[in-house]
A and B are shown apart, each in its own frame.
Chain A
Amino acid sequence: MQNENNNKTDLIFHGAVNATGGVYNKVDVQGYGKINGDVECESLHCAGHVSITGDLIGSSARVEGNASIKGKVKMDTLSVYGQLDVADDLNFTSLKVGGNVKVQGNMAGEDVKVLGSLKTAGDCEAEVFRANGAFSIGGLLNAGRIEVLLHGGCEAKEMGGEHIEVRRTGNSTLGKLLKHFLNNTLSVETIEGDEIYLENTKAKVVRGNKIEIGPDCEIDLVEYSTECKQDPSSQIKTKTQR
Chain B
Amino acid sequence: MDTNVISKKDLLELTGISYGQLYRWKRKNLIPEEWFIRRATFTGQETFFPREQILARIDKILNMKDDLSLDELADMFSPNMSETSLSADELLARNIVSVTSLEVFNVFLGSLRTFTFQQALYAYVLEKLLAAGDLTVEEGGGLLQVLASHYPKFDGKPCELIFMRKMGISTFVLVSGSTEMYFDNGVKVVTRLIFANCIEELKAKFM
Smallest CB–CB gap between B54 and chain A, Å? 16
CB distance from A116 to the nearest CB of B (A): 24
What is the minimal beta-carbon distance from A227 to any residue of chain B, in angstroms?
14
On chain B, the residues within 8 Å of A142 by CB distance are 23, 26-27
The answer, among A108, A144, A161, A221, for a CB contact under 8 Å with B43, is A221
Known: A204-B44, A205-B43. A242 touches B13 (CB 8 A): yes
Residues in B neighbouring A162, C-beta threshold 8 A: 18-20, 23-24
Residue contact A194 to B9, C-beta cutoff 8 Å: no
**Could you tell me the dominant secondary structure of chain A's interface residues?**
strand
Q: Which residues on B sit within 8 Å (CB–CB) of A190?
A: 44-45
Instruction: Looking at the assembled complex, report how far the CB atom of B147 sits from the nearest CB atom of chain A, in whole angstroms.
Output: 31
Interface 0/1 of B44-62, CB less than 8 Å to A: 1100000000000000000
Question: Does residue A212 face the partner (Cβ distance < 8 Å to B)?
Answer: no
Minimum CB distance partner of A163 in chain B? B20
| Shortest Cβ gap from B61 to chain A (Å) | 16
How many of chain A's residues touch chain B, expressed as a range?
20 to 34
Cα separation A92 to B44 with both chains bound (whole Å): 33
Q: Which residues of B contact A98 (CB under 8 A)?
A: none
Assess A194 versus B24: contact at CB under 8 Å? Given A189-B44, A205-B43, A242-B9. Answer: no
| Nearest B residue (CB) for A220 | B44
0 or 1 for each of B14-37: is its CB under 8 Å from A? (1 = yes): 000011101110110000000000
Of the residues B19, B26, B27, B45, contact of A207 by C-beta under 8 Å: B19
Q: Which of A84-121 contact B (CB under 8 A)?
A: 108
B44-A208 in contact (CB<8A): no
Question: Which chain A positions have C-beta within 8 A of B27?
Answer: 108, 125, 127, 142-144
> What is the distance, in angstroms, from A211's C-beta to the closest C-beta of chain B?
11
Smallest CB gap from A221: residue in B: B43
Q: Which residues of A contact B22 (CB under 8 A)?
A: 160
Asked whether any CB of chain B lies closer than 8 Å to the CB of A193, the reply is yes
Q: For B13, what are the chain A residues with a Cβ–Cβ distance below 8 Å?
A: 242
Query: Nearest-CB distance from B185 to chain A (Å)?
Result: 45
**Is A9 an interface residue when CB atoms closer than 8 A count as contact?**
no
- Nearest 9 pairs of A and B residues by beta carbon: A162-B20, A194-B20, A160-B23, A192-B19, A125-B27, A194-B18, A142-B23, A161-B23, A204-B44
Write the residues of chain A forming the contact surface with B, with a CB cutoff of 8 angstroms. 108, 125, 127, 142-144, 160-163, 189-190, 192-194, 204-205, 207-209, 221, 223, 242
